[in-house]
Structure formats: C-alpha cells, structure tokens
Amino acid sequence: MAVGIFDSGLGGLTVYREIRALMPDLALVYYGDNAHAPYGVRDADDIYALTCQGVSRLFDAGCDLVVLACNTASAAALRRMQEGWVPDDKRVLGVFVPLIEALTERQWGDNSAPREVGVKHVALFATPSTVASRAFQRELSFRAIGVDVEAQPCGGLVDALEAGDLILAEALVRSHVDALLRRMPKPEAAVLGCTHYPMLAEVFQAALGPDVNVFSQGRIVAKSLMDYLERHPDMLGKGTQNLFLTTGLPQSVSDQATRFLRQDIRFAASEIE
C-alpha cells in the first residue's frame, strides 16, 4: 500500500526520510517537479496547476493519499484543491497544520476554539510565495490567539540548496535571520516553513541563539501521517512500489538528491509508462 509525497524539488526528501524512518514498511512514491522548481517565486495559479498535475501523477501511481511536502504548494494550492479538485475517494494533506499543532501543543483533530498558548512571538522563515500567502498566519488563527508572527521571505535559499552550494546557503540563512531579528529581536520560537530548510536547522539555531525553539517539519509531519493512517487505514492506496519520480533529468536529479540526503536515491522520469 502506497502513500504519495509531492514537492517542487528536493526539499520534500527531508519529510520522506522521517516517514521512512517511522514507517519502514510503508511504500512511498515521491514526485519532485524539478523541471519547474523553485515554486517560491511563482504566482498562485501557476503553483496550483503544477501541483494538481503532480498529484494526479501520484494518484495514477496507486496513491490515494498524497502529502504536499512543499510549504509553497500547501500555502498556495491546498485549500483550492480540497474545495473543488480532489476526488471524493482521495485525500491531499499539507504540512502546515501538523507544524501548527506542535507549535500550539494541540492534539491531532483538536477543533476547539482558538485559545491563548504558551508562545507569543514566532519567527517564520519561508519562501516569498509562502510568506505572501499568509497561509501560516491564517491556519494559526484557527487554533491560537495573541501570537505575534514575524515572517521573513528567504529569497535564494532554495536555489542554493538545490544547487548544493552550502556556503552560499549558510550565508543566506545568517542574512535572513539578521533581517528578521531587526524587526523581532526576541522570538521565542522559529518555524522553518520550507521542507528544504531542515538541512540547515543547525545554522538557523546558531544564528537565532540557544533560547529560540526551532521547529522543522520532517518528524512532525511523519508522526501526524502515522496517526492519520491509524485512524484512516482505508486511505492506503493500491500501489506497492517505492518510486522516485521527477519532471527533471533523472540522472541529474538523482545525483542532486544523493548529495542532498546523503544516501543513494535513484529517480525515474515521471511519465506513465
């Protein structure tokens, strides 16, 4: 039985890694839209169309449940997809809600009214499109009140990570953190609102200081998915193969992914054979 993981590029592999560690027997089909990455600088209609195309391919691969392991797609496309595009027998889940549940210490499925929570000052680091959508603030407002969110668009960071330029990526992190701290000098928590960013979690932590609780999504999303599948075992699709699919050049993407995740990853072309 297979579950799909969608991302615009390689960042979703951080979610894949944690799901695989938590549920080693679960078949996973990963789809990276590397030919059109990064999504963070695209407009909402473009992101929606590309995300629907990728998720359709995962449905065709036997996945009835797809995780959008891409914050930009979750922010710009998920609600629109759920409201009018996703078939009744399929599910598409995003990565914002599990993160916000962890930040606000809510249990899965807690739909009670928003309330005061322990954290009051939150730094959000995300792509320009995710920041512009204000999707994180919207979802947070459904669960918590009195939380001040300062968002920092991290232009260039995904491109540097996809290119394997860690020196540039680390310099960009420090620059973006400095810019945010000028506006919010003492955040209590920081949200890494892009699945690429966990690769630099230690750099974010060092730049923010030891008193800031840094939240990244991989393990949080994996635990939420395991809980969801325990509640909805019928959403395990009919697929049985572990696959890595890409719209990019398979050999080039495989080489990038192997460097990115530090384990051998072999991608195939996303077209249906």
Helix 201-208 with 166-183: angle, nearest 10 deg: 40
Q: Which residues are catalytic?
A: 70, 194
* pLDDT of amino acid 273: 46
Residue corresponding to tokens 């719209």: 247
* pLDDT of amino acid 120: 95
**201-228 mean pLDDT:** 94
Domains and CATH numbers, the chain: 2-94+219-269 (3.40.50.1860), 97-217 (3.40.50.1860)
In 61-164, where does DSSP find H-type helix? 71-76, 78-84, 96-103, 128-133, 135-141, 157-162
* pLDDT of amino acid 83: 95
pLDDT single digits (tens) 111-127: 788 999 999 999 999 99
Comparing CA positions, the residue from 102, 103, 153, 156 lying closest to residue 132 is: 153
pLDDT single digits (tens) 17-58: 999 999 999 999 999 999 998 898 899 999 999 999 999 999
DSSP strand pairing (27-32 vs 63-68): unpaired
Instruction: Please state, for a pLDDT cut of 70, what percent of the chain lies above it.
Output: 98
Please count the residues of the chain: 273
| 2/35 Cα distance (integer angstroms) | 24
* pLDDT of amino acid 272: 57
Q: Give residue 262's pLDDT band: very low, low, confident or very high (50, 70, 90).
A: confident
Element (H, E) at 30: strand 27-32
pLDDT single digits (tens) 48-84: 999 999 999 999 999 999 999 999 999 899 999 999 9
Q: What is the token pair recorded at 201?
A: 């979690």
Task: Please state whether the predicted TM-score (pTM) of the whole model is above 0.85.
Answer: yes
* pLDDT of amino acid 105: 85
Residue 185 · residue 209 · CB < 8 Å: no
| 11/7 Cα distance (integer angstroms) | 7
Angle of CA points 180, 192, 72, to nearest 5°: 105
pLDDT single digits (tens) 140-169: 999 999 999 999 999 999 999 988 899 999
| 14/25 Cα distance (integer angstroms) | 18
Instruction: Please state, for a pLDDT cut of 90, what percent of the chain lies above it.
Output: 77
Question: What is the separation of C-alpha 17 from the centre of its chain, rounded to a whole number of angstroms?
Answer: 13
Residues contacting 13, CB < 8 A, separation 6+ = 7, 30, 257, 260, 261, 265
**246-250 mean pLDDT:** 96
| 119/100 Cα distance (integer angstroms) | 11
Comparing CA positions, the residue from 208, 190, 58 lying closest to residue 136 is: 190
pLDDT single digits (tens) 91-113: 999 998 898 888 888 876 677 88
| CA distances from residue 112 to 115, 144, 148 in whole angstroms, order as listed | 9, 10, 20
Q: Using CB atoms within 10 A of its CB, is residue 54 exposed (0-12), middle (13-18) or buried (19+)?
A: buried
